[in-house]
Amino acid sequence: MDNAIRFLLDGEVIAIEAPDPTGTLLDLLRYRMRRTGTKEGCAEGDCGACTVALGSLHGDTVRWRAVNACILFLPMLDGKALITVESLSKGGALHPIQRALADGYGSQCGFCTPGFVMSLYARSIAAEGTEDLPVGDVLAGNLCRCTGYGPILAVGEAHPPAAPAADPALVVALRGLQRDAPLTLRHPGRTAFVPRTSDELSAFVADNPAARIVAGATDVGLWVTKQLREIDSLVFVGDVADLKIIDETPDGITLGANVRYSEARAALARLHPDLGELVRRIGGLQVRNAGTIGGNIANGSPIGDMPPALIALGATLTLRHGDARRTLPLADFFLAYGRQDRVPGEWVERIHIPQPPPGALLRIVKLSKRFDSDISSLCAAFLLPIADGRIGAARVAFGGMAGIPSRAPACEAALSGQPWSAQTLDAAAEALRDDFAPLDDLRGSAEYRLAAAGNLLRRLWHEQADIPALAHV
């Protein structure tokens, strides 16, 4: 029985027998392959010093994306192509981006430089997630404490995106690594299952309900690298193609649970610009290139950025157990901190996000200490149908205000059926104190959160001049 992963590195097939399913690509590169250009700065996907490019086969092409090696588990490499910073200077000649950084004083201590090189390289080949993004957004997941970023941004501007030349040999080599059957990996004290279809996934999870499902590992990776948790059984779903659907209809969008943030951004932005802007601020690009919306929902974090917006929009969730499925409002999925409405062996299959009602006011706002690549202090979403100067059935949802992302029923009651006025929004802001009793933590005090949440409501009124449909009210 096959008990190995196989991937391409600079055109060479690399096989790792009986890999540790929670071993990271960063450790493999540095300690076993001696590719020490990939650095460990944070081991949690924040600093970008470990950035590499990962290529996946899509028909007759290879799609590349920049990812963080520090939280990428080894089974996620299977059947992929890998480029590290050393790949760009084979034979001793610097890549043009490396030369430009050196000549333009874009490197000082040099620790972060390989990560910047790889992010800029990924952008230069029009890798996934870089579409229509300015250089600053592409580099938001890379941190430097020396240069002030100016010279680095200048290098990015001087190397605009261009599709790479076709590489038939790479396509053929990757085809030779693809699997039709699921992969089972056994490591002492640990196992991993890598399905190819949702049916294989569902059958395995139904029989092994304690197995940890891993999509992008942007949360689970930190359990291993920071909390040093031991995970005995894992299921890697990144290669389940039928969970990657993005179905846009006049009624809304349906996303498979395996759709990554960077893949969903354009469709969500077409649904409403605020959704696209929200995704742009979720982690750095490397995180959005790995993390999935379904995985974030299933993890149930009270400060996940997407759930409040999706709850306000009335999103529904489809859960699957074996061959059985059930659909429920996303707002009902979150029960209490760390607890969701999901029985053992049941998993998130897809999310449906309805089209906002015509003429409704939708605002989605994230507040955080840093604008880029930071966890929310709070995240708010307001959906207010307004007609003839009155508010219809309002939907208001927050993250970071309680142990779960949730609606604000007292606030909604203070808005629904009331005149569209500053006084109504003031009353709704005060009603938030009946909905939430936030905690004090490093990201903000309880009083700050309540005051900020109320002020976001009040700001809706002051923005009305920018809303053509409401300007006459």
For residues 28 and 78, the answer to whether their CB atoms sit within 8 Å is no
Q: How confident is the model at residue 132 (pLDDT cuts 50, 70, 90)?
A: confident
CB 325 within 8 A of CB 319: yes
Say yes or no to pLDDT of 469 above 70: no
- Domain containing 8 equals 1-178
pLDDT of 90 = 81
The structural domain count of the chain equals 2
Measured at the CA of 180, the angle between CA 178 and CA 182, to 5 degrees, comes to 100
Residue 447 CB contacts under 8 Å (≥ 6 apart), including other chains:
none
CB-facing half-sphere around the CA of 256: CA atoms within 13 A: 18
Nearest to 174 by CA among 259, 55, 73: 55
pLDDT for 91 = 82
| Average pLDDT value for residue range 62-66 | 97
422, 312, 390, 431: CA torsion to nearest 10: -50
CB 53 within 8 Å of CB 83: yes
The reply to whether the predicted model has a pTM over 0.75 is yes
pLDDT at 372: 86
450 lies in some domain: yes
Tell me, yes or no, whether 204 lies in a domain.
Answer: no
Q: Is residue 304 part of a domain?
A: no
**Alpha-carbon Rg of the chain, whole angstroms?**
23
Average pLDDT over residues 128-134: 90
Mean pLDDT of 36-46: 95
Under the banding of pLDDT at 50, 70 and 90, the label for residue 472 is very low
* 78-82, 291-295, 397-401, 438-442: the lowest-pLDDT one: 438-442
The whole-chain average pLDDT of the chain stands at 94
Output the domain CATH number for residue 171: 3.10.20.30
pLDDT at 165 over 80: yes
Q: 359-369: per-residue pLDDT in tens? A: 899 999 999 99
pLDDT of residue 467: 52
The stretch 71-89 carries a mean pLDDT of 97
Average pLDDT over residues 223-248: 96
Q: Which of 178, 213, 248 is the last residue of a domain?
A: 178
CATH classification at residue 372:
3.30.390.50
Residues 2-32: tens digit of each pLDDT: 899 999 999 999 999 999 999 999 999 999 9
Asked if residue 471 has pLDDT above 50, the reply is no
- Domain termination site, one of 178, 207, 226: 178
CA distance linking residue 166 with residue 415, whole number of Å: 56
pLDDT at 325 (0 to 100): 98
Nearest Cα neighbor of 85 from 108, 104, 101 is 101
**Domain ends where: 135, 159, 178?**
178
pLDDT mean over 193-206: 98
Angle at 289 between CA 363 and CA 194, to 5 degrees: 120
334 domain-assigned: no
Cβ-in-10-Å burial (0-12, 13-18, 19+) of 177 comes to middle
Give the model's pLDDT for residue 470: 52
Average pLDDT over residues 250-264: 97
> Are 195 and 237 contacting, i.e. CB atoms less than 8 angstroms apart?
yes
**Torsion angle of C-alpha atoms 279, 285, 290, 292, degrees rounded to 10:** 0
Q: What percent of the chain has pLDDT over 90?
A: 89
Flag whether 193 is in a domain. Answer: no
Is the pLDDT at 316 greater than 70? The verdict is: yes
For residue 71, is it within any domain? yes
Spatial contact of 412 and 312, defined as CB atoms under 8 Å apart: no
pLDDT band for 309, please (50, 70, 90 cuts). Answer: very high
Degrees to nearest 5, angle at CA 142 with 136 and 148: 70
Q: Are 365 and 456 in contact (CB under 8 A)?
A: yes
What is residue 473's predicted lDDT score, i.e. its pLDDT? Answer: 42
Specify the amino acid at residue 361.
L
The four Cα atoms 405, 407, 410, 413 give a dihedral, to 10 degrees, of 170
398 assigned to some structural domain? yes
Is residue 272 in a domain?
no
